[in-house]
């Protein structure tokens, strides 16, 4: 069979630009690297990207916390703004030994925390089997444990009252705003990863309600939120008798509700 040569970077970039990709040259470089000289794989990746699949799901990884996080179709792509939640957790508990990444998706948060906390006993959990599979590849390789199930039901009972950091980037898009999301999220990320119920706070409220039973005294719960949800999110924390405050990063932009078990 005759050897087929790869299309040039310029040809790929032109295809991507015509499909609406703003950073077409950079994306062409990433896709070329991911295809690793295989023309068939390259054609497929360019076609999937041109059809609107998020770049991270096309090349199979997302950058998060200075690491490559493996991602696959059907799993939420970790957002760079969520690095703020990781930074807040590390600043609060640099000596944390028991860490939970609830609603872990790909496990990006857990992987970043585990990498920074050499002694952490890390548990990541998600309800979605595709996310759990993905998290295994990112977290288990760092010595973390991955569980499947509905919120705290997934966790080993022995963690009750012992968690130093409980990080939970829960779904928080109000149900009727999902249709307004960019197509990459709306069409290519699972609804279970986005839909937070009528006001977007259903899962956050459930996590806040149960968190005190799982946190160690002085342990922290951290949940990402949005500007307009922040007041109600703070109320949910204080109703659970957590000492609550909001951390804000305007640059990324990101907001994290932080609760401490007294």
Ligand X SMILES: C[S@@+](CC[C@H](N)C(=O)[O-])C[C@H]1O[C@@H](n2cnc3c(N)ncnc32)[C@H](O)[C@@H]1O
| Binds ligand X (CB under 6 A): choice among 45, 58, 65, 82 | 82
Report which secondary-structure segment, H or E, holds 259.
Answer: strand 254-260
Examine residue 201 and tell whether it contacts ligand X (CB under 6 A).
no
| Binds ligand X (CB under 6 A): choice among 98, 103, 117, 256 | 103
| Binds ligand X (CB under 6 A): choice among 31, 99, 100, 104 | 104
* Residues 154-183: x where in contact with ligand X by CB under 6 A, - otherwise, as a string: ---------------xxx------------
Structure tokens at 59: 């090349």
Q: Is there a contact between 181 and 117 (Cβ–Cβ < 8 Å)?
A: no
Residue with the CB atom nearest ligand X in the bound state: 105
Supply the minimum distance, in Å, between the C-beta of residue 224 and ligand X.
Answer: 8
Examine residue 76 and tell whether it contacts ligand X (CB under 6 A).
yes
Quick one: 103 or 120, whose CB is closer to ligand X?
Answer: 103
Q: Is there a contact between 108 and 135 (Cβ–Cβ < 8 Å)?
A: no
Q: What share of the chain is helix, strand, coil (3-state, %, to 5)?
A: 45, 20, 30
User: Segment near ligand X (CB under 6 A), from 28-36, 48-56, 97-105, 242-250?
Assistant: 97-105
Closest CA to 31 of 45, 44, 14, 20: 45
Closest CA to 223 of 170, 173, 159: 170
Examine residue 240 and tell whether it contacts ligand X (CB under 6 A).
no
Supply the minimum distance, in Å, between the C-beta of residue 241 and ligand X.
Answer: 22
| Binds ligand X (CB under 6 A): choice among 83, 121, 126, 164 | 126
Quick one: 35 or 106, whose CB is closer to ligand X?
Answer: 106
What's the half-sphere exposure (Cβ side, CA atoms, 13 Å) at 93? Answer: 30
Q: How many CB atoms lie within 10 A of CB 211?
A: 25
Examine residue 108 and tell whether it contacts ligand X (CB under 6 A).
yes
Measured distance CA(155)–CA(50) in Å, rounded: 40
How many residues at the interface with ligand X, by CB under 6 A?
21
Examine residue 78 and tell whether it contacts ligand X (CB under 6 A).
yes
| Binds ligand X (CB under 6 A): choice among 106, 114, 138, 229 | 106
Distances from the Cα of 86 to the Cα of 40, 116, 118, 167, 230, angstroms:
38, 10, 15, 8, 18
Backbone φ and ψ for 5, nearest 5 degrees, come out as -85, 160
User: Which residues are near ligand X by CB under 6 A?
Assistant: 76, 78, 82, 103-106, 108-109, 126-128, 131, 150-151, 169-171, 192-193, 203
């Amino acid at each position: 069979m005759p050897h087929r040569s790869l299309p040039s970077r310029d040809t790929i970039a032109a295809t991507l630009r015509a499909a609406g990709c703003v950073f077409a040259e950079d994306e062409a470089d990433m896709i070329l690297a991911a295809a690793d000289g295989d023309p068939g794989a390259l054609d497929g990746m360019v076609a999937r990207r041109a059809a609107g699949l998020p770049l991270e799901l096309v090349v199979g990884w997302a950058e998060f916390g200075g690491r490559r996080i493996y991602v696959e179709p059907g799993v939420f792509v970790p957002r760079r703004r969520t690095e703020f939640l990781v930074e807040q957790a590390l600043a609060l508990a640099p000596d944390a030994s028991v860490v939970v990444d609830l609603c872990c998706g790909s496990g990006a948060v857990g992987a970043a925390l585990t990498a920074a906390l050499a002694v952490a006993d890390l548990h990541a959990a998600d309800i979605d089997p595709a996310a759990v599979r993905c998290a295994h590849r990112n977290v288990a390789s760092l010595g973390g444990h991955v569980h499947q199930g509905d919120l705290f039901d997934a966790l080993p009972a022995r963690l009750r009252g012992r968690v130093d950091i409980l990080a939970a980037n829960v779904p928080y898009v109000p149900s009727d705003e999902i249709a307004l999301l960019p197509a990459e999220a709306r069409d290519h990320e699972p609804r279970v990863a986005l839909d937070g119920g009528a006001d977007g706070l259903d899962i956050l409220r459930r996590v806040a309600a149960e968190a005190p039973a799982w946190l160690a005294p002085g342990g922290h719960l951290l949940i990402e939120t949005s500007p307009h949800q922040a007041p109600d999110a703070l109320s949910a924390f204080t109703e659970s008798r957590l000492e609550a405050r909001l951390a804000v990063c305007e640059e990324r932009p990101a907001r994290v509700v932080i609760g401490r078990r007294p």
